[in-house]
Amino acid sequence: MTGLFWAIAKTLIVVLAAPLMVGWVKWLKCRLQNRKGPPPWQPYRDLLRLSRKHVVLAETASPIFRMAPYIVFSVTILAVSTVPVITVQLPVAALADVIALVGFLALGRFFLSLAGMDVGTAFGGMGSSREVTISSLAEPALLMAFFTLAMNVSSTNLSTVISVLGQRDITLYPSLIFSSMGLVLVAIAETGRIPIDNPATHLELTMIHEAMILEYSGRHLALMEWAAMLKLTLYSLLIVNLIVPWGVALTLVTGDLVFAALIVTGKLLLWGALLAVSETIQAKMRLFRAPQFLGLAFILSLLGMMSHIILEVQ
């Protein structure tokens, strides 16, 4: 029962802390651009404000438009609940593995794209078209990176992967280096950060995620935005816990858990800082260069897998 309690607590904490992660990255970017910027807790105020407003629904909207925010948000919450954050000993660990995690995110993306096409405007169609193009190139790269990881550890269960990696002696695995690089590139593409998509833009020629949620308002928009923040936090957790697996508690002892929580927070803050720096020094790529970016991610994952077979196994 304590396991279940900690699982629900973890999910709740991550869901509530996701806007802070996004706020932190945005605040750092502003500072790097020599601006004062809004405080890191600004996203909370945005979400509260949105949830109080009325919903204005387009006349051509269908039930899918109204269902989609709830589905996207609940599927993202489910995905978050399967990722080990501070401990690997949770019962929900057996719920899903990395492939199912990718499946959940794909389900969310499916409904998000449908919602974009629902109202019958050109913006939504454009956003959906670009989103499915980019995700159809990113998903194989992501799965290849996970496969390399799985072949290294002989398991696709996330908790097993993190606990095995965390308990090994420090060894330099070229396959893990490459698959981590691939994972980072795919995470940037999937969460819609520069250089694939600009999270701050509202110009029609440059938006992907914003175009799909353009028609949403009120609490629906709050849910969609929150889901996007949650997705960024999810990918960040995956990256920091897979690349630097030390610090994740292996038991349910409270002292271990508190220590692990502090370490994970530190890792996330550091990752947020790196993300902010990388977004500040790069510009957004034009859409038809995105396949090259994702092709690079795929080649990195493929190289990781081939390094594993060639260099790491007898």
Residues 99-158 that bind other proteins (CB under 8 A): 99-100, 103-104, 106-107, 109-110, 113-114, 116-126, 128-130, 132-133, 135-140, 143-144, 147, 150-152, 154-157
State in angstroms the smallest separation of the CB of 176 from other proteins.
Answer: 10
- Report the nearest approach of other proteins to the CB of residue 132 (Å): 4
Per DSSP, what are the bridge partners of residue 249? 87
Closer residue to other proteins, CB minimum distance, 13 or 94: 94
Among 17, 30, 177, 244, binds other proteins (CB under 8 A): 177
Among 36, 171, 203, 281, binds other proteins (CB under 8 A): 171
x/- contact string, 294-313, with other proteins (CB under 8 A)? -xx-xxx-xx-xxx-xxxxx
CA–CA distance, 80 with 46 (Å, rounded to integer) = 22
Question: Which CB, 27 or 178, lies closer to other proteins?
Answer: 178
Which whole-number Å values give the CA distances from 208 to 130, 133, 286, in the listed order? Answer: 6, 11, 12
The amino acid occupying position 118 is: D
# of chain residues touching other proteins (CB under 8 A):
99
Cβ closest to other proteins, residue 27 vs residue 147: 147
Strand, coil or helix: 112: helix
In the complex, minimum distance from the CB of residue 226 to other proteins, in angstroms, rounded to a whole number: 10
Pattern 57-96, other proteins, x by CB under 8 A: xxxx-xxx-----xx-xxx-xx--x------------xxx
Closest CB 84 distance from other proteins, rounded Å? 14
Q: What angle, rounded to 10 degrees, do the helices at 218-243 and 158-167 form?
A: 40
DSSP assignment, residue 309?
I
Shortest distance, position 79 Cβ to other proteins, whole Å: 10
Q: Closer CB to other proteins, residue 152 or residue 191?
A: 152
CB of residue 69 vs other proteins: minimum separation in angstroms?
Answer: 9
Site string for other proteins, 14-53 (x = CB under 8 A): -------------------------------------x--
CA distances from 241 to 11, 23, 152, 170, 235 (A): 16, 21, 16, 15, 10
DSSP, residue by residue, 229-247: HHHHHHHHHHHHHHHS-TT
Task: Give residues 204-263 in contact with other proteins (rule: CB under 8 A).
Answer: 214-215, 219, 223
First and final CA of the chain: distance in angstroms? 43
């030390």: which residue's tokens?
246
Residue whose structure tokens are 């957790």:
237
Question: 228 CB contacts (<8 Å, ≥6 apart)?
Answer: 191, 192, 209
CB proximity list for 142: less than 8 A, separation 6 or greater: 102, 182, 183, 186, 190, 301
Rounded to 5 degrees, what are φ and ψ at 116? Answer: -60, -35
Q: How far is the CB of 109 from other proteins (least distance, A)?
A: 8
Told to check if 173 binds other proteins by CB under 8 A, we report: yes
3-state secondary structure of 249: strand
